[in-house]
């Protein structure tokens, strides 16, 4: 009987922690057995500020995944929203993050930048060969990666994300973050009725107010424009976007903002802009897991599965047998 392998991953985002446990199937594809998700605590602007709080978020997500799967793991792959350019193609090191994982009695197999993990899930081999600019719009950070001729040639991140759009709305409309988030999700960056007034809930029991839709949309457009200008400045410092035939792929929770594709297309001047979806796991996933919000989680799982499969082949294939006979 073949030995059953279970891969564990922890995707630590700025808004949520996702834990996955999956069995490696006969064809080398991961079969998800356990899923856990909870809000991220202890991270601010992509930086760990409270290790105890973050370790508890990890523990909650992992417990949910283990309970669903009826399995446990001793070591996990971890993804994290890196701030600044990466020092190597895949791996990054954050001592506080490592300590948080260790507080849960888990070993780390590898720490991968979230934006690189997302690319694993949403970019096809054709995307990588043609040349593609991936923008991962997270909560507090925006990851940037460029692939060309099949290789990762650039990876960076910005200390700003979709949460800043919400914060701008809360300040400008003088309302709560919850109400600002509702407005953001409802309106997006384009409105067919900009002259219509929007009813905004007051703060601390104050009466609701009416605000022009055009005002709220303008606030969101301004912040998105800033994020895209920063992204363009970072990438064009190293690479010409015009040479990327694959265009732009958007992922991350912020990519679900209404009108974001048209905004990116017009501001970056690239006709080819699309929403990233998890296509590298075929039909193995429920629909809700295939969207851009779970790209880094699923990409990390794909990456971990590939790595563990190769390690298994080395251990249990002819190379492993030969190595054991030499001992």
pLDDT (tens digit per residue) in 157-185 = 899 999 999 999 999 999 999 999 999 99
Whole-number average pLDDT of the chain: 87
pLDDT band at 237 (very low <50, low <70, confident <90, very high): confident
- Does residue 280 carry a pLDDT above 80? no
Global pTM value: 0.88
Q: Which of 323, 319, 299, 316 is nearest to 20 (CA)?
A: 299
Given a cut of 70, whether residue 31 has pLDDT beyond it is yes
- Torsion sign over Cα 102, 107, 113, 115: negative
Range 267-272 average pLDDT: 88
| Contact between residue 44 and residue 21 where contact means Cβ atoms under 8 Å apart | no
Q: Are strands 273-275 and 247-251 parallel, antiparallel or unpaired?
A: parallel
Condensed to tens digits (0 to 9), the pLDDT of residues 70-80 reads 999 999 999 98
Sign of CA dihedral 90, 91, 92, 97: positive
What pLDDT shows up at residue 215? 93
Structure confidence at residue 1 (pLDDT): 35
Question: To which H or E segment does residue 262 belong?
Answer: helix 260-268
> What's the whole-number mean pLDDT along residues 242-270?
93
> Is 26 a residue whose pLDDT tops 60?
yes
Q: pLDDT value at position 286?
A: 73
- For position 157, what pLDDT does the model report? 87
pLDDT tens readout for residues 3-23: 578 999 999 998 999 999 999
């Amino acid at each position: 009987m073949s030995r059953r392998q279970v891969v564990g991953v922890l995707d630590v985002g700025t808004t949520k922690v996702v834990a996955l446990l999956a069995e490696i199937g006969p064809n080398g594809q991961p079969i998800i057995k356990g899923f856990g998700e909870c809000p991220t605590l202890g991270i601010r602007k992509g930086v760990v500020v409270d290790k105890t709080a973050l370790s508890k978020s990890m523990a909650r997500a992992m417990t949910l995944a283990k309970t669903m799967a009826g399995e446990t793991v001793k070591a996990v792959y971890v993804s994290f929203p890196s701030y600044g350019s990466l020092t190597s193609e895949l791996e990054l090191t954050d001592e506080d993050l490592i300590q948080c994982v260790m507080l849960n009695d888990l070993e780390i197999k590898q720490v991968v930048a979230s934006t690189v993990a997302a690319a694993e899930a949403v970019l096809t081999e054709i995307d990588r060969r043609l040349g593609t600019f991936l923008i991962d719009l997270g909560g507090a950070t925006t990851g940037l990666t460029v692939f060309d001729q099949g290789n990762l040639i650039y990876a960076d991140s910005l200390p700003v994300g979709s949460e800043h759009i919400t914060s701008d709305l809360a300040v400008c409309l003088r309302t709560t973050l919850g109400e600002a988030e509702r407005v953001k999700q409802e309106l997006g960056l384009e409105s067919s009725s900009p002259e219509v007034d929007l009813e905004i809930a007051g703060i601390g029991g104050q009466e609701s107010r009416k605000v022009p839709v055009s005002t709220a949309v303008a606030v969101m457009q301004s912040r998105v424009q800033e994020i895209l200008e920063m992204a363009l400045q970072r990438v064009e410092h190293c690479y010409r976007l015009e040479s990327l035939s694959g265009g732009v792929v958007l992922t991350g929770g912020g990519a679900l903002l209404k009108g974001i594709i048209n905004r990116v297309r017009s501001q970056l001047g690239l006709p080819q802009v699309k929403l990233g979806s998890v296509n590298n796991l075929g039909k193995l996933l429920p629909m809700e897991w295939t969207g851009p919000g779970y790209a880094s989680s699923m990409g990390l799982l794909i990456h971990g599965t590939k790595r563990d499969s190769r390690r298994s082949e080395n251990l249990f294939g002819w190379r492993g047998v030969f190595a054991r006979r030499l001992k």
